[in-house]
Amino acid sequence: MIRAHTALARDSIKVAIRARSLRTGLLISLPRGTVSPAPAQSAKPTSLPAPARGKLSFARDCACPERDAAGGESGPELTRSQSNTAIGNMKSLSTKKILCAAAVLFFFPVRLLSQGLDPSIIANPPADSWPSYHGDYSGRRHSRLTRITPQNVASLALAWAFQTGQAATIKSSPLLVDGVLYFTVPDNVWAVDARTGHQIWRYTYKPNEGMHLGHRGVAMYKQWLYFSTPDAHLISLEAKNGKVRWDVEVGDIKQGYWTTMAPLVVRDHVILGVGGDLDNIGAYMRSIDPETGKTQWQWNTTPPAGTPNATTGGTIWLTGTYDPDLNLLYTGTGNPTPVLNGKTRPGDNLYTCTIAALNPDTGKLVWAFQPSPHDTHDWDAIEVPVMVDADFHGEPRKLLMQASRNGYFFVLDRTNGKSLLTTPFGPVNWTLGVDKEGRPIPNPDKEPAPDGRLIAPDEGGLTNFRSPSFDPKNGLFIVSARDSYSLYFAKPADGDYGWAGADYGLWGKGIIKAIDYQTGKIRWSHDIGEGASAGVLTTDSGVTFTGDSNGNVLALDTSDGKSLWHAGTGGQIASSPITYELDNRQYVLTSSGGVLFAWSLPESN
């Protein structure tokens, strides 16, 4: 009975809101300290206008007090006739209480939700959430949503836009839990209403000397967020208000350590990578207790600095994937150091440029596969290890796929790391072939030299940080690629520390490539200009979302790569799209520069 009355009251308020939306603001409590109430900016709001410094006046006909979380003055009372019109014969309940509750439900669905995440749902999240960096544990970045289709995507329009006001480009994948989006740039975390784009809170980290290359996002466990910092700290925040719970150091910035990745939550483990790409230091993956911040285990990708004839490096800077059935965590690792001078680090340089499978409870290595043995071109293997359960050459398999920076596409059996397929997906000229284990064989004549070496791909690789997507219906691994050539140099004066050489890009062309995972052949391709920095998202309806080098958001037909829709954003797209459904409406989220964009079909659709 109460539910029915509340719904009636809420419907009445919605009518009032539609009539008075231009006179309405947004109520947000104003936390203190490092949590900021800086107003969001909505370019095209669909329900409420931009907040007026975090305060909302309720609709004029509402009897609710006009207040924020700290209290405030009461608003106008409803007359008896107004009450009767709004809720009829609700004689047993207080009119004002019901209307107040309905208004809060309508305006502040976020406040009444738990703002918590059970880690068990990450493996199979509902349509109204995007609870981890990849959306789920698989890394497929594929959604079951079907409201936006190849037939209606041409009607896609801007639902809202949020401006960070920061010079830093958004590279993070937002998390969505309980109707709230959480996203980052270095030193900053925002909580934003996923329906309207209005800011709920913002956390700003202290000024620091860390490496501000970019930031990939946050992780969530129960009602807490986990945020890595440029100076190698891991911070736990309360999701409801952005207040700091604890702050632990996971690396020493004075030695060159930093973190940029979005952590991965596996049950009661918060897992992140720590390293330093520009210094001769060892890197590692660490598991942190989400309750206390204490270290549970650490896996070192390389031996301690100073170990004779051994490499350093191997930074882990992108979020891995996890198989709950096998209880295996999959991660890529970064390049060795010194980067371009391989003479001081003979051998394969394990475990740099490696796909590794770890036990998430102990950190013990189960198996490892090395896409780039003895790398001398900065081609880490950190790219997303995508999990797929499918037939491979007629046999059901648990597969792990990676389009690697070195230009090769790999398909592995993820139970044991054995190679099933190794093939280039673009111009590659640095190898002598592939060994019996499926690893490319480096050509010594293609190592950097004083007179230069022409190398394909260039230092940025045939792909990089941008996420791929796997579409199960078409059997396509779709990746944002960049065919390229470069000149690599090395001379004694470059030494054996840090970069230790030079490279100069000569030519490059961005291409979205759809790879048939059974054969490695390119099924279709779509040119996107000179560069490539946007990730890929596919949906069950057959739409692929990505971006080009000119700042256009693109919707392609997944079956053949043809253009269905595009929209200019005015800046570089350097993140990977996500999608979610709220109130029977599907949204696609992209970014450009420091602006987050939400796209949706018009409500009439």
Residues 6+ apart with CB under 8 A from 356: 299, 301, 330, 331, 332, 333, 365, 367, 368
**d(C-alpha 277, C-alpha 286), whole Å:** 17
Active-site hit among 378, 458, 471, 503: 378
DSSP code, position 81: H
Alpha-carbon distances, residue 356 vs 162, 285, 302, 416, 521 (angstroms): 37, 11, 13, 10, 25
**d(C-alpha 182, C-alpha 288), whole Å:** 21
**d(C-alpha 420, C-alpha 401), whole Å:** 10
**d(C-alpha 343, C-alpha 336), whole Å:** 12
**d(C-alpha 103, C-alpha 91), whole Å:** 19
DSSP code, position 431: E
User: How far does Cα 138 stand from its chain's mean position?
Assistant: 13
AA identity, residue 310: A
Locate 319 and state its tokens: 């979020």
**d(C-alpha 243, C-alpha 252), whole Å:** 24
Give the up-direction half-sphere exposure of residue 287: CA atoms within 13 A in the CB hemisphere. Answer: 17
Locate 156 and state its tokens: 């896609």
Beta bridge partners of 142: 538
378 tagged catalytic:
yes
User: What sign has the CA pseudo-torsion 449, 453, 456, 457?
Assistant: positive
Instruction: For residue 177, give the nearest of 96, 119, 103, 248 by alpha carbon.
Output: 119
How many helices, marked H, and strands, marked E, lie in the chain? 4, 39
99: left (phi over 0), alpha (psi -120 to 50) or beta: alpha
**d(C-alpha 26, C-alpha 160), whole Å:** 15
Residues 6+ apart with CB under 8 A from 394: none
Which residue is associated with the tokens 């698989």?
138
Pairing between β-strand 578-582 and β-strand 585-592 as defined by DSSP bridges: antiparallel
Pairing between β-strand 142-143 and β-strand 537-539 as defined by DSSP bridges: parallel
407: left (phi over 0), alpha (psi -120 to 50) or beta: left
Long-range contacts of 204-211 (CB under 8 A, 24+ apart): 204/34, 204/35, 204/36, 205/34, 205/229, 205/235, 206/34, 208/253, 209/253, 210/186, 210/253, 210/258, 211/258, 211/260, 211/276, 211/278
Alpha-carbon distances, residue 236 vs 228, 296, 454, 560, 562 (angstroms): 9, 16, 46, 44, 43
Contact 316, 261 (CB under 8 A): yes
Residues with catalytic roles: 378
